[in-house]
Amino acid sequence: MIQVESLVKVYRDVTAVDGLTFAVAPGGVLGLVGPNGAGKTTTLRCMAGILPPTSGRLRIAGFDLETEPVEAKRRLAFMPDEPRLFEYLTVADHLALSARLYQVAGAAEKTRTLLEELELSARARALTSSFRCRRR
């Protein structure tokens, strides 16, 4: 399902990820554990196609993120720890926009299911600006 081979990400003179390789089989679970600055978020952002890797290869469901980015991204869900949302869109609007961008088949049903799983059905029409993050 997920293959990361020799992933390297360098920011100017800082190497955030240095030669990371791993694979996650369908149905498998992987945890990235380490101290702040270890490269966990950078790795996830590279896997989601948000950041381009400096070098290495990433495949999602067999699709190479560099050569087939849309197909790879369509098969991966990524929920960042600090989502950058458009404040004037509702929760449902965000899901609809993402579904259109990635040409998700059956988007309406998948949206309902996702809203239920995240316990957000009652807030589907709420503006994202009405949500507040609570720090623990």
- Note whether residue 20 is domain-resident: yes
Neighbouring residues of 36: CB distance < 8 A, sequence distance ≥ 6: none
Residue 61 pLDDT greater than 90, yes or no: yes
Work out the mean pLDDT of the chain and round it to a whole number. 88
8 within 8 A of 19, measured Cβ to Cβ: yes
Whether 68 and 8 map to the same domain: the answer is: yes
Is pLDDT of 46 > 90?
A: yes
> Is-contact 75 61, C-beta < 8 A?
yes
pLDDT tens-digit map of 105-121: 899 999 999 999 989 99
Asked if the structure places residue 16 within a domain, the reply is: yes
pLDDT at residue number 136: 60
User: In the structure, what pLDDT confidence band is assigned to residue 96 with cuts at 50, 70 and 90?
Assistant: confident
Residue 42 lies in a domain: yes
* Per-residue pLDDT at 74: 84
Which two three-digit tokens encode residue 65? Answer: 């993120």
- Quote the tokens at residue 80: 């960042």
pLDDT at 82 over 80: no
pLDDT for 85 beyond 70: no
64 shares a domain with 14: yes
CATH assignment of the domain containing 31? 3.40.50.300
Residues forming a β-bridge with 7:
20
* Phi, then psi, of 108 in degrees rounded to 5: -60, -45
pLDDT score of 83:
62
Q: Is residue 79 part of a domain?
A: no
The domain of 123 spans 91-130
Residues 95 and 70 grouped into a single domain: no
Enter the pTM of the model.
0.65
Cα 38–Cα 43–Cα 49 angle in degrees, nearest 5: 155
Kindly state the tokens that stand for 50. Answer: 């948000």
Contact status, residue 41 vs residue 87, Cβ threshold 8 Å: no
